[in-house]
Chains A and B, each alone.
Chain A
């Protein structure tokens, strides 16, 4: 099925560093979402974006809805060990339709 292009595939960083990951699509989306998934658990919603150009923060996380509506990025500032996990972007066309997910970015943080 259709998937988004998410990069990088994995990142290995030191505690305290900032992290940036992004997601691109060939299709326009009306909503972009970012989720974090820990092993053996379901994805947890971090940030939802509803308008092109929108910049939204949630604590140390900041995400932006690209102006073309075909991309989004997520930044994590001052990373800590509990940031470890897999981060997924997801795009949604019409409200209420199914989400299209990227393949995820695996984040490892060393202390």
Chain B
């Protein structure tokens, strides 16, 4: 148990719909990262927060994606107007005391 929960674990949606995922670390974590993982690939970085500030976004994060961490604890990732190419596992990873990133169980998104 990494002390990280993600909700929902699975989401099936139709193309064009909006979806929102949530990441809840059990304890306080300074940094929190979001990654996307497609089949047969390793996770790819999307964005990260230090406390409530979003400090970096990758080129993968199109303008249809938005992430927040309003109180520096839980975080949400929203995808607007979903496309079939958005189908993937979305993983959040808060950092531990030694700056190691511990991954949550992920949200599997399927866009039909």
Interface residues of A (CB under 8 A from B): 1, 3-4, 6, 33, 35, 40-45, 48, 88, 90, 95-104
A42 partner, pick from B59, B60, B98, B106, beta carbons under 8 A: B106
Which residue of chain B has the shortest Cβ distance to A6 in the bound complex? B42
Q: Is the CB of B58 within 8 A of A101?
A: no
B residues 85-108 near A (Cβ < 8 Å) are 89, 91, 93, 95, 98-106, 108
Q: CA of A42 to CA of B107 in the docked complex: distance in angstroms?
A: 9
Q: Is the CB of A44 within 8 A of B45?
A: no
B99 partner, pick from A1, A95, A98, beta carbons under 8 A: A95
B residues 41-68 near A (Cβ < 8 Å) are 41-45, 48, 50, 56, 58-60
Q: List 24 A-B contacts (CB under 8 A).
A: A1-B45, A1-B58, A1-B60, A40-B108, A41-B105, A41-B106, A42-B2, A42-B89, A42-B91, A42-B93, A43-B91, A44-B103, A48-B100, A96-B50, A98-B33, A98-B45, A99-B33, A99-B35, A99-B43, A99-B45, A100-B45, A101-B42, A104-B41, A104-B42
Interface residues of B (CB under 8 A from A): 2, 4, 6, 31, 33, 35, 40-45, 48, 50, 56, 58-60, 89, 91, 93, 95, 98-106, 108
Min C-beta distance of A58 to chain B, whole Å: 13
**Chain A residue contacts of B31, Cβ below 8 A:** 96
